[in-house]
Amino acid sequence: MALTNQKIVIIDTGCANVSSVRFAIERLGYTVTVSKETEVVLNADKLFLPGVGTASEAMKNLQERGLISLVKQVDKPLLGICLGMQLLGALSEEQGQNGTSLVNCLGLCDAPVQKLKTGDLPLPHMGWNTITPTQGHPLFKGIPAGSYFYFVHSYAMPVNDENYTIAQCEYGQMFSAAIQSGNYYGVQFHPERSSKAGAQLIKNFLEMSA
């Protein structure tokens, strides 16, 4: 049952996948607003933080839009998607084309973001892969074991089951496919591009109690 009276906001990071996330939410019967306005963001019931590109470019973009302190003020459930999940971490190795130092991220989850060590497997990790969620976590309600989700990334958070990892995936190494740190959630995959399982995950997030 869609809780359609919720105020759902996609934080307007200016990145390319804002529209596809919006359409995925609307297909579930919800009304959604795309905004970077302080009052709109802080009055939302559920929020999404999408991201594509590199961590250095994305953090620069958030800084220019005045969104870094705003995202840190959010006290309602927020779901970071792909790079949006990585931005919740502490530091990222993804400096962009010319950078040599680590990128300071939002620091909302005490986790580093590191380049995947995949051996002979190509980077980026692109395409469908299965995940292993924490049993009973509400974000994965009704999603069968072995469900496939769509990934496009070369960097990831390591697994830390006791601290933040709520789902794992393997591609040359194990990495965090989903995280939770307080009211901040993140998924490394693209639920808006992950067919029925992705739609179910978005629905679960929207129906979770705050």
Catalytic residues: 82, 190, 192
Distance from C-alpha of 195 to C-alpha of 202, rounded to nearest angstrom: 11
Task: Describe the crossing of helices 195-207 and 18-27 by its angle, rounded to 10 degrees.
Answer: 80
Distant-in-sequence, close-in-space partners of 101: CB < 8 Å, separation ≥ 6 = 95
CB atoms within 10 A of CB 202: 24
- Side-chain-side CA neighbours of residue 124 (13 Å): 17
The Cα–Cα gap between 20 and 117 comes to: 29
- Residues of 1-18 as b/e, b for ≥16 C-beta within 10 angstroms? eeeeebebbbbbbbbebb
Phi and psi at 116, nearest 5°, equal -65, 135
Which is it for the CA torsion 77, 68, 83, 165, positive or negative? negative
* Token duo for residue 2: 């869609």
Output the six-digit token pair for 85.
């999940």
